[in-house]
């Protein structure tokens, strides 16, 4: 009996050993297969053509194979510097561009406003300042669409407001007996209906903004739609919007431009005991105030547009992009609205880029709306036009993300020549896009626009990256 048990135990041990051996063999083989497959895919990026013409043809064939099963959901146009189409797929069809629309908004802005354009926030008083530093009157802040001041998305606004009050002190103002007034008339222009109103009409608009630099106090004040508090591994907590990944710093918010700025200013004035009233009058345009009596105190200037464009295109900041569109409306139509800004961009596309009206449909400046539509060919036209614009092009080009280096492409397109690309990403529900400039291994200048609609984001991004790697090898 003992011998029988020992025999059965030995058989079970041997059987277990054989099963384990087979399992490890299969795992090892699958690992080798995965490694070989990865190596095969890596090696397939290289082009074997001896001449540039041969490599161009080979690249086009590889891109065609890559998109063979995706022809109904992708629009692509890839052109050489001479204007020849290296590859085209649905290039004249309208697609939702997502944040690739920022390429158009920023192109129109840099062309119309110029790289050195700065937002101006004006400060006025409407009373006398006595020798002992008392302002017998109101302090008026005439707001602008300056995105740093118009929202509450980072900590810089606090430092800026503190510097303003230091300037007031330097100008001999230590006490304000009147009101702190926000003039947001830039957004309305010469609107007759508002000109008859003596009270402030709330100015609000919706956006999705990045709070990557915001502090907890600013996050708590943001009018975030549906958010929860989550506990992090380090024991700290963080507010996170629903329907967003836990690590995101994006927030859906309703913005009342410049209102947060005025709240910060009021609190600092009260902290320094410079103002006794906590009533902040906000006016868009008022007949009860005699603007002819306003005395200009000083002007705050924003960083140049060339720097702000980097936030728009490298970081894909939606709020900044829509504020830029409102700026175009304010500067060239006398009304800082989205609608007037679109008029300016439309004019730029038709009369500067020579685009056809049926090549685009614009709803905002950021690409957040699914109602925006453009063709891949239009995006390439815009990029080609901008290359001819000298100083304007330099600011435009430097605002775009560099793969493996910065912005939204910081972790993508891993290739030894990745830094030869300057491009703009785009992503909303069901939409992935990538358009930009590329210099190949042989020095060929290439323009590309790749837009996928009704696609899975992970696979679509992988397709975009692979196409760019093919192009780099030309």
> Is residue 344 domain-shared with residue 465, that is, in the same domain?
yes
- 249 or 151, which is more confident: 151
pLDDT tens per residue across span 443-473: 999 999 999 999 999 999 999 999 999 999 9
What token pair was written down for 106?
């920023």
Tokens representing 330 are 């304010």
**Residue 13's pLDDT is what?**
59
pLDDT given for residue 173 in this prediction: 95
Two tokens at 201?
């009409």
pLDDT of residue 40: 42
Q: Which domain holds residue 434?
A: 52-114+308-472
**Both 144 and 291 in a single domain?**
yes
> What's the confidence (pLDDT) of residue 10?
60
Closest to 110 (Cα-Cα) out of 407, 393, 402, 378: 393
Helix axes 102-113, 318-333, angle to 10 degrees: 40
pLDDT at residue 278 greater than cutoff 70: no
Residue 425: inside a domain: yes
pLDDT, residue 37, reads: 45
212 within some domain: no
In a domain, 345, yes or no: yes
Residues 266 and 336 in one domain: no
Last residue of a domain, one of 236, 270, 302: 302
**Residue where the block lists tokens 């003039």:** 183
Residue 84: inside a domain: yes
**193 or 259: which carries more pLDDT confidence?**
259
Same-domain status, 72 and 125: no
With respect to residue 30, please indicate whether it lies within any of the assigned structural domains: no
Asked whether residue 373 is domain-assigned, the answer is yes
Residues 445 and 344 in one domain: yes
Give the position of tokens 């490890």. 24
Residue found by looking up tokens 């009260």 in the block: 270
> With contact defined as beta carbons under 8 Å apart, do 128 and 136 qualify?
yes
Measured CA to CA, the distance from residue 250 to residue 320 in angstroms comes to 13
Is 321 found in the same domain as 294? no
In a shared domain, residues 387 and 293:
no
**Among 100, 99, 110, CA closest to 309:** 110
Q: How many residues does the chain have?
A: 474
User: What average pLDDT does the segment 78-98 reach?
Assistant: 96
Which residue is listed with tokens 């649905």?
A: 90
The pLDDT, as a whole number, for residue 212 is 63
**Is residue 142 domain-shared with residue 77, that is, in the same domain?**
no
Q: How confident is the model at residue 87 (pLDDT cuts 50, 70, 90)?
A: very high
Rounded to whole angstroms, what are the CA distances from 213 to 148, 155, 256? 12, 6, 19
The CATH number of the domain holding residue 442 is 3.40.710.10
In a domain, residue 349? The reply is: yes
Verify that 356 and 461 share a domain, yes or no.
Answer: yes
11-55 residue pLDDT tens: 565 666 666 666 555 555 555 444 444 444 444 688 888 888 888
3-class secondary structure for 225-264? CCEEEEECCCCCEEEEECCCCCCCCEEEEEECCCHHHHHH
195, 328: one domain: no
What's residue 178's pLDDT?
87
Q: Find the CATH number of the domain harbouring 281.
A: 3.50.80.20
> 327 and 440: one domain?
yes
Looking at 243, 268, 302, the residue that finishes a domain is: 302
* pLDDT tens profile 159-175: 999 999 999 999 999 99
**Residue 189 is assigned to a structural domain of this protein:** yes
pLDDT at 377: 98
- Distance (Å) of CA 222 to CA 157, 226, 358, 418: 14, 11, 39, 38
What does the pLDDT read at residue 218? 58
d(CA 435, CA 270): 49
Residues 6+ apart with CB under 8 A from 117: 304, 305
What span, in angstroms and rounded, lies between the C-alpha atoms of 29 and 297? 77
If asked whether residues 415 and 332 sit together in one domain, one would say: yes
User: Which range has highest mean pLDDT (17-21, 125-129, 181-185, 400-404)?
Assistant: 400-404
Q: Which of 302, 329, 358 is the last residue of a domain?
A: 302
**How many C-beta atoms lie closer than 10 Å to residue 323's C-beta?**
29
**Span 381-386, mean pLDDT?**
98
Using an 8 Å Cβ cutoff, are 332 and 112 in contact? yes
User: What's the total number of domains in the chain?
Assistant: 2
């Amino acid at each position: 009996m003992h011998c029988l048990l020992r025999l059965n135990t030995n058989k079970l041990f041997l059987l277990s050993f054989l099963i384990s051996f087979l399992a490890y063999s299969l795992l090892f083989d699958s690992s080798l297969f995965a490694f070989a497959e990865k190596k095969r895919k890596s090696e397939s990026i290289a082009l074997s053509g001896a001449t540039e013409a041969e490599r161009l043809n080979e690249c086009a064939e590889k891109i065609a194979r890559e998109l063979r099963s995706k022809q109904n959901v992708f629009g692509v146009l890839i052109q050489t510097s001479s204007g020849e189409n290296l590859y085209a797929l649905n290039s004249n069809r309208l697609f939702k561009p997502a944040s690739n629309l920022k390429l158009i908004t920023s192109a129109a802005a840099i062309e119309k406003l110029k790289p050195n354009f700065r937002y101006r926030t004006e400060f006025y008083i409407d009373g006398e300042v006595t020798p002992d530093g008392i302002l017998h009157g109101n302090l008026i802040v005439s707001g602008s669409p300056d995105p740093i001041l118009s929202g509450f998305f980072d900590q810089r606004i606090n430092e800026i407001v503190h510097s303003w009050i230091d300037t007031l002190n330097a100008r001999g103002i230590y006490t304000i007996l009147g009101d702190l007034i926000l003039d947001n008339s830039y957004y309305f222009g010469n609107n007759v209906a508002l000109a008859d109103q003596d009270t402030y009409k709330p100015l609000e608009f919706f956006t999705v903004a990045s709070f990557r630099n915001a502090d907890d106090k600013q996050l708590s004040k943001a009018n975030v739609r549906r958010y929860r508090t989550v506990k992090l591994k380090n024991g700290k907590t963080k507010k996170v919007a629903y329907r967003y990944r836990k690590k995101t710093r994006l927030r859906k918010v309703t913005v009342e431009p410049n209102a947060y700025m005025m709240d910060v200013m009021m609190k600092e004035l009260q902290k320094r005991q410079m103002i006794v009233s906590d009533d902040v009058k906000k006016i868009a345009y008022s007949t009860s105030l005699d603007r002819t009596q306003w005395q200009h105190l000083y002007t705050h200037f924003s960083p140049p547009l060339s720097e702000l464009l980097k936030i728009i295109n490298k970081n894909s900041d939606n709020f900044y992009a829509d504020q830029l569109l409102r700026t175009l409306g304010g500067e060239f139509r006398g009304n800082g609205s989205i609608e007037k800004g679109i008029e300016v961009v439309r004019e730029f596309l038709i009369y500067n880029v020579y685009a056809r009206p049926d090549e685009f449909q614009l709803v905002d400046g950021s690409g957040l709306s699914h109602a925006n539509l453009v063709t891949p060919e239009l995006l390439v036209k815009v990029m080609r036009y901008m290359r001819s614009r000298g100083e304007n092009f330099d600011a435009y080009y430097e605002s775009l993300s560099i793969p493996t280096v910065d912005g939204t492409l910081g972790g993508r397109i891993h290739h030894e020549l990745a830094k030869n690309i300057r491009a703009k990403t785009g992503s909303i529900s069901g939409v992935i896009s990538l358009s930009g400039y590329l210099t190949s291994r042989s020095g060929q200048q290439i323009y590309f626009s790749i837009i996928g609609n009704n696609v899975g984001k992970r696979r679509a991004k992988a397709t975009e990256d692979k196409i760019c790697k093919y192009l780099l090898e030309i």
